[in-house]
Amino acid sequence: MDIEQRLTQLERTNRRLRTGLLSLTIAITTVLIVGQAKPEKAPDVIQAKAFQVVNDKGQVLVRMGASKGRLGRLGIFDVQGQMLVGLSATDNGQGGVTTFNGKGQKLVGLGASGDGKGIVTTFSDKEQKLVRLGSSPNGEGAVVTFNNKGKMLVVLGGLEDGVGGVVTFDGDGRITGTLGAGLK
């Protein structure tokens, strides 16, 4: 190996060392800079007029917002866009929860009466009331069943002075029988 070959080999080795040293310096500098970056602090409050959660295909699965710009609403949807659960505030200051089937038909409603008493109502696939749990006008617990025309069939509940009673009706809403103290 003559001097010229040795110099060529030395220059090649020197180039590799410089490239390696430069790469190492860039890597160390990058690590130091990234290590100094502080994570962003999460905001205390996020405000928006609406918020949506979507899946990878862009389909809305959850929507939060206001109905007609006044009352809060939350809707949970299936991938076909049908609402399955709705939570909302009512005009009279009550809250409500409604569940739906995959066809958009109401199944169960939880809410309040006009005077603020709790009500649970189940519905048929034609959205006719089937059963309602709530209270009687005098504040006693009550269960009411309905026929497919929306007429009462049976009312079971507390009467005045805490006495229980049952009233049955025909398909047209006429009383057919009563059971309980003081019922006629």
Q: What is the pLDDT of residues 71-130, one digit of tens each?
A: 889 999 999 999 999 998 877 778 899 999 988 899 999 998 777 788 999 999 888 999
Beta strands in the chain (DSSP E): 51-54, 60-67, 71-77, 83-89, 95-100, 106-112, 118-123, 129-135, 141-146, 152-158, 164-169, 175-180
Instruction: Say if 110 falls within a structural domain.
Output: yes
Is residue 42 predicted with pLDDT exceeding 80? no
| 127 DSSP 8-state letter | -
pTM, two decimal places: 0.67
DSSP letters spanning 108-126: EEEEE-TTS-EEEEEE-TT
Instruction: Say if 138 falls within a structural domain.
Output: yes
Q: Which domain holds residue 9?
A: 1-39
Instruction: Output the six-digit token pair for 97.
Output: 């929860």
Instruction: Say if 44 falls within a structural domain.
Output: no
The Cα–Cα gap between 136 and 145 comes to 14
Instruction: Say if 63 falls within a structural domain.
Output: no
Q: Name the domain count of the chain.
A: 2
CATH number at residue 164: 3.90.930.1
Q: What average pLDDT does this structure show over 14-27?
A: 88
Give the pLDDT confidence score for residue 84 in this predicted structure. Answer: 94
Average pLDDT, the chain: 86
